[in-house]
Structure 1
Amino acid sequence: MSFFKKRLNLQVPDELMSIMHYYEDTCVMGCCGIGCLDLSPQRAVDGMMDHGLEWGEHGLTALDALLQVVSKHSGSVDSDDNGFGDSWESSAQAVAFYAV
């Protein structure tokens, strides 16, 4: 039995990262983390208009898979390695962000 909760080093799939880069507004995720994202419904609609409905569907499928991985983890989550630039102290906090 371990007294230390393990940190999940989350690898956001490239397909999902490319979609998330579309939402970068004021900076880039590698610098400012999630604070640079415009996650408004209008931005989502604009993205699907620019890239097609299939683009959005692929993103949601990748996001669902990511949420399953994070939900099964019981410790902190770090997603700095592939340019996402953020971390959460609990998997519940990470799920809350990704479930937006």
Structure 2
Amino acid sequence: NAGMCWASQDFVRILENVKARGILQSTFSYFFLEQNKIDKKKIQENFNLTAGELDIILNNPGKGEGIFRVGDSSVWIQTDPSDKEMMFIESNEAVLQELLNNMKKVQGYAG
């Protein structure tokens, strides 16, 4: 068994990448976080989310709030990631550096 974790708030960018699309096509579990409203049609076409599920991810969900889908089953979920987990997933270098600096100040984190 193997697993892969992708996190993105830009679904269409992944969908339009040929290599990434192959991963999407063979994935059974998805965690949808906030998505841009202009991508609603593409998301609906590719994942057949309900109107309620789309409402959650398109209309300013709370931090860590989204839809977790396994196969054809979905559940609303809200995560509460730790600072270390946020470091793992953060792709914005400036935000990552700020997280690291805050951890060093508050926790004496050595990296």
Relative to the length of structure 2, the TM-score reads: 0.27
**RCO greater where, 1 or 2, for CA within 8 Å and sep 6 or more?**
1
CA radius of gyration, larger in: 2
Relative to the length of structure 1, the TM-score reads: 0.28
